[in-house]
Amino acid sequence: MKRRALISVTNKHKLEGFAKRLSSLGFEIVSTGGTLKFLLEKEINATPIEKITGFKEMIGGRVKTLHPKIHSAILFDRENKEHEGEIIAEGVTPIDIVVCNLYPFEKTISGNSNLDDAMENIDIGGVTLLRAAAKNYKYVTVIVDPQDYDNVIYELSKNENTTYDTRAKLCVKAFSHTADYDATIDSHLSKILANNKKLRLSFISGNDLRYGENWHQKACYFKKETMEPSASNMKQLHGKKLSYNNYLDIEAALNTAKELSNCSAAVIVKHLNPCGVATGSTLFNALKNAWDGDRVSSYGSIIALTRKVDLKAASFLKGKFVEVIVAPSFDPDALEFLKNKSKDIRIMETGELFTSEEKIYKFLTGGVIEQDRPKGLYEKWECVTKNRFPDNKKELGLFTIIVTKYTKSNSIVLGMEYEKGHFKVLGNGVGQPNRVDSLRKLAIPKIYENLENMWNEENTNIDKDVFFKEKISECVLVSDAFLPFDDTVRVAAENNIKYIIQSGGSIRDKEVIATSDCFGISMVFTGMRYFNH
């Protein structure tokens, strides 16, 4: 019997070379419509499908491949004698390879298409071909992705057929392709025709974790296909398997690091909160100043860095226990140092940091929330107090806003400029039911603890209280939302804080502004809230 391949594709990437190789291997190519025209223009022999079926393409090309002589050629069981007898009796030549990808429905609906355009781009014959070929994968090779052409040609050249394992993998790929295609159609038409907005998400490569959030919970991590650097696509260079908590903390650290990726920066995260964040003239300086932001919490932390890790930066971690280090890349000597530091430390390489995902999701019992990614740092920059907010404090303010965006609400963050053009978190208070406790009970004690370390290590002759007041007076405080009362301002004033950034929008804004004026505090309204739950 002749060996026959059916090719009917929308995406013609790499098709010319693939079809020529198939012909050279002795396959008769059967094709349809635009694909047939493409092949003949490339001087590749191809048989029109109507020559096989005895019927021309009908009703504007809507019916081309839906015919018993096509589907029996694909579906018959090569080991079933009854099937074989029917095939011979009807003069049907088996089809051993089906190459098909579908009408661009998703691309169509992403533009300014109307319902008629959408319906016209729902593929019928192509889906049927793929499902038939995939169902009979034991004998038929089905290809939906041009990236698989080369491997198929290699196996055909070597063995005159593809391997069972390859056909099995291509079978699953075909069913995944049609499932995603149908899901897109369902979501679009449900919204348009049934007024029922649907969300269908697809995750792959499920990987069992050692345990979940706690030891008695089972857990599995599923990946979403994305180009953006994330826990899904980074490369593990060393260490134990990642745990449930590692994945969550890596996400938190990377979110902050991506917003600081235009400079050398270090982000240290513990239990989803940045406990130390700093930029620096070098990665070493950034890492040292981030660590100094909370030396206690940095123990057992996850660290995300925005630049290639060199040996000096890696050496800073000598004697320090860290669970995970995430960075775009590592110098060979730095990587060797970190590997020798601990057999368990997870070393993760992301490549260049950037953002591309437009939506984020929060899964709840029985549901999921989809929302826009929290882009931007302010909608306005309005100084609302008598004391002006100095221009030379804006960059520090923006750094502190970035950190605030990724701390758990209610949150207060104080940032300082520790050297010209480089910033660090001096203290923060996170996750409290009220914002004044975030400042008074958490951020303020941490600020004084860190200033005590700085005063001792700088060996300065300045009186300690004077040193503290001077340093704090140059910091910027950012609140993740508006201040509903003036109590936070009063606590700030008691501790010599002079600059506050908040969203504004409270019914007591005037009272808050008046209190700020009373204490000589400069306050900026951004019009943007930074809740993070």
Q: Report the C-alpha gap between 323 and 240 in whole angstroms.
A: 10
Count CA atoms within 13 Å of residue 80 on its CB side. Answer: 11
Q: Which stretch of DSSP H or E encloses residue 262?
A: none
Q: Report the C-alpha gap between 69 and 484 in whole angstroms.
A: 74
Q: Report the C-alpha gap between 105 and 98 in whole angstroms.
A: 21
| Residue environment code for 361-380, b if the CB has 16+ CB neighbours within 10 A, otherwise e | eeeeeeeeeeeeebeebbee
DSSP letter (8 states) at residue 330 = B
Strand order in the sheet with 97-100: 47-48, 27-31, 3-8, 97-100, 141-143
Count CA atoms within 13 Å of residue 255 on its CB side. Answer: 22
Pair 171, 148: CB distance under 8 Å: no
Mapped to the 3 state alphabet, what secondary structure does 75-103 carry? HCCCCCHHHHHHHHHCCCCCCCEEEECCC
Q: Report the C-alpha gap between 294 and 222 in whole angstroms.
A: 32
Q: Report the C-alpha gap between 476 and 482 in whole angstroms.
A: 16
Q: Report the C-alpha gap between 66 and 485 in whole angstroms.
A: 71
As given in the structure block, the two tokens for residue 244 are: 């449930």
Coil/strand/helix, residue 214: coil
Q: Which residues pair with 372 in a beta bridge?
A: 359
| DSSP per-residue letters across 128-168 | HHHHHHHHTTTT-EEE--GGGHHHHHHHHHHHSS--HHHHH
Q: How many residues does the chain have?
A: 533
* 219 contacts: CB under 8 Å, gap ≥ 6: 208, 209, 211, 212, 213, 244
Pair 290, 321: CB distance under 8 Å: no
Active site residues: 135, 271
Coil/strand/helix, residue 63: strand
DSSP letter (8 states) at residue 181 = H
